[in-house]
Amino acid sequence: MQNQTPARKHDDAPIGLALYQPDIALNVGAVLRLGACLGVPVHVIEPCGFAFSPAAWRRSAMDYADLAQICRHDSWDAFLAERPDGRLVALTTEGADSLWDFAFAPGDTLLIGRESAGLPDAVHREADARVVIPMQPGARSLNMAMAAAIAVAEAGRQIAASAAAGQDDAVGVHPGGVVGDAPTV
Ligand X SMILES: C[S@@+](CC[C@H](N)C(=O)[O-])C[C@H]1O[C@@H](n2cnc3c(N)ncnc32)[C@H](O)[C@@H]1O
Residue 179 burial by Cβ neighbours in a 10 Å radius (0-12, 13-18, 19+): buried
Nearer to ligand X, 148 or 163 (CB): 148
Binding string, residues 139-158; x marks residues near ligand X by CB under 6 A: --xx-x--x-----------
**Start-end of H helices in the chain:** 25-38, 54-61, 76-82, 121-126, 144-164
Residue 37 burial by Cβ neighbours in a 10 Å radius (0-12, 13-18, 19+): middle
Among 70, 133, 160, 173, binds ligand X (CB under 6 A): 133
3-class secondary structure, 16:
strand
Closest to 72 in 3D by CA, of 132, 4, 122, 140: 4
Smallest distance from ligand X to CB 116, Å: 6
Among 23, 46, 82, 115, binds ligand X (CB under 6 A): 115
91 touches ligand X by CB under 6 A: yes
Nearer to ligand X, 19 or 38 (CB): 19
93 touches ligand X by CB under 6 A: yes
17 touches ligand X by CB under 6 A: no
Rounded CA gap, 156 and 170, in Å?
10
Q: Which residues of the shown chain bind ligand X in the complex (CB under 6 A)?
A: 91-93, 95, 112-113, 115, 117-119, 132-133, 135, 141-142, 144, 147
